[in-house]
Structure 1
């Protein structure tokens, strides 16, 4: 580049202009020669000097010449006229300007030649440096991408072929040869580099499992990204770094997840001390914070449970069992999983009280929604707040023909778009990055976004993307390829709809806001028995009502319909009900407001359903009467059976008396069997009679004051034979003086005997059953416990049902009425009965009998 100096007017540029002093010295002889032949007057010479003094440089050059000429002309001023002097001055000015221009051009040419030599030298140096840089960049293990403003990026160097990196302009389509995750991260890093000059160093993975190092820098207003193929050692280090980042991310995510969930979780060291707990653990042990729980050693499980876990858990077989503990003062059952680790152990507890029911309900709901969406012909995809795919239906799979394994991996939305682009299922965009960002902006949008996608296979999709309030988005793809064909078939569809309405079994009539009919179907006319002419379009609803009078002769019938249909209320109400025609038809009607102030009136023939309902009502009444007959029959038969049984028992006792005569050993044994069987049968008949009396609501309690100590003595004496027969003993625990209670002594004694007999029946030989009694205010509370096999949890709710004997009927089989009678008699006393039993730990029945203030009799409630 040549050097240009911009000087103010009148200033000489030493680098451009010639030296005035040299011109004066070199041309002095020429001016002197001219003075020898020119003679002018002094006044004309002065005017010539003023004319030539128009420029500073010319005046400086002409000043010596003019001085010499003036001195010579003073003597002979009378020889020239004014016109001759002027002409002479012009000639001198032209000669001076020509000399000055020639000197300047010579000097400028020299300067240009010097600058040209300097530029050629600098250009040669630049070419040499460029050759050196290109030789450096031409390494096959690296490639550099240079962005200069908004111009097309420049690609320098190349990567090995085994990396799978394209060598042409497709190199910048990172989604084609990099893994989707690496491509997304690299694109975001490049965006930050170009927009905010934010440098980066990262490791990316190609689709061929090769590791590349990417470095982004900004220099001289340009953005550079260098891709380097790593050698074996550096590749291994990069892979280890990637794996470390993944592990740290997984650990952090896992701990954050455990802190977020409402499940107590913990980690112990090799000595069994708490090393880490989550927030739910701290809340469960009522600690200020998880660290506070660790510092104070607050345990979530009991000592026995922890010892049990320590003894049972092994590295190969983690502990997994249900354990009960107290949380915030409430006994709660948890599914505890504890894993033994080389450095200690880790565990988690899951509250299973409501989990099963909630999970089952959630599974049914999700399955129902999934089945509904799967049957839709419209492709649907749902993404969560992390933009990962959570749900897709079969129409979505059929539309994009994607691999199920890829979809089940829950890919990111950006990864999905990159996969579709790589598979040539999306059209090439002029600016793919901007198009993708616009598509993914739905996660930040407030309203539903709509766009048209023109696919390479010729399909046109209308895409609806709606953001969820809690994060995530739902994408719905509507195929508009056949929209034109659908529009052409619109009129046909309208006719089809009309035909459909005409063939409905439901009567339909549509009225306008003026109360005139718009349309009706044959079912409507058939139900009301009117002709097509009477229900033609344009007929007013009052005329329709008059035509329907023979079928429904009620003045408020169609009048009510007319008021609702022609109402001027701002809110048009819907209505529904049932009416019965004179012909016996029962119709369900519905008045439904339609757009454009129209109203639809529908009638459904419910005659068969009403008749079936009436038949069921009559059948139910018949069943109720049959139940009453059953109760009467049971009561009658029970009374009829008691007399023969009493005779049998009496005659058996008579045969055992010495007055009848001696009996041999076998006869005596038979008499004992007869007496025992008769007593059992009499007890069964009495139980059935008592239950029948309770069911009939005719049992009355005979209240009297009962001394509880005497009652217990009486009960222990009556049950002694039965206890001896079963080989068990009775332990009675009661205060020295229980006092008295106002109740029915016979029924109360019957309750105790039934409970003791039931406990003896299920207790093993040599065991003991316990009867514990105490008073709580005026209530008499007693419990009977045994050490039998216990009752499974699923059968506890049915033990009070009649004839419920269970899988194990005890030593002596029975009809299963004992506990049912206990429950009935306790209820008659307005008391409560409860049962506590666990398999293998025995059974405990607790009864509470309140004392009434005054003796009286009450009828048993049915």
Structure 2
């Protein structure tokens, strides 16, 4: 009996399970025949295809769908819902502003936009509902029945990248904008909007005002650059404008160039200053580039060399320049052309490698100093200086010195000039004959005088006078080794140098007397 109950229970369970499985299979077969889809999927699809609709009252947003609010949140442009929506609509519907202004006379306006960056062609409908209410709806006809769904990770990645690009453009210091074929601005970054607001005293109309005259792009030429200025209430800013063609739109980039303009202005002023300085220099200047062509010269070069201005402005080579100098007899007369050419080659190589100076004695009696200096990037500069008067003055001075030296050598008195340091700077022939050791300092001279004569009060007085001791007398006498009495006198020249003069006297008979007697003898000799 128990075995029968067990088998009855197992049979009931199997029959129940089979019935449930059969019912599920029948329900699924019925769903497939009817073409049904899961209700959750329909709800998700329905939620993802909400329309973009705005409701404005007197241009103040009163209601909007979820996608419409998301569009306003992510759209760039000025503050305010209506200006921001117009900024988004303007590049996609170029004539939207004009048509929307006619909405009061027309109850409904339908517009088809130009193609965007992809293949979408949007449609816009504006309806006047009365009492200041305006409903604006934006649709994508190509996606109305497509049922396109985007997974959340892809949507998040696209939004993050879009946010990164938008922030980068808004934080860049350069002005970026886009304009259509009619030069109307259809988009601008935050820097452009801020600058437009400042120049417009806070009132920012749409379409945006043009701040800079940008360069016109050349078809097939890529980008084009132009420098433009922006006057903001008397403050001028400079920009380097770059344009790039993108279909029927043109992207504009304006990079701040104030620092470059200031540097160029400073360089230009510096060059002008140098040019004026070179023009006033009495020294002729000629600068040759690395190809040895004349790049710069001043008026003094024309005056000194006599070369024609047209020849110099034609940028001759260095060899042609030197050949013209030779034809005008403005170089030293060479023995032959080959030696002259070698001399000029040596001049060029020496000037290119380092500082080089030559003196040219010209056939016309003038003397030029020619200086060669290397310049950056392989250039070389030559300076021509007329030193004829300097040479003449030097020769005259040398002649005067020789004459003065000859006059001193003819004097009988022995003369020597001492500097304050004790150095002997000048002697005559009589001094050199009297003291032949050619001492160069006071110390050496005293040693020689002591070795050649006898020490005594006269020599001590002379030493004290030459060493600048106070209360030392200016005259005296000493005896040489032969017993001759030599009188001396010291006087100042120019306030610092001292002139020592020795005068020979007659020989003293007998032993040398004391110093007072020798002074008396010197007085007697002077009296004679």
Common fold, TM-score beyond 0.5? no
TM-score with structure 2 length normalisation? Answer: 0.28
TM-score with structure 1 length normalisation? Answer: 0.19
Q: Would you tell me which structure has more helix in proportion to its own residues? A: 1
Q: Would you tell me which structure has more strand in proportion to its own residues? A: 2
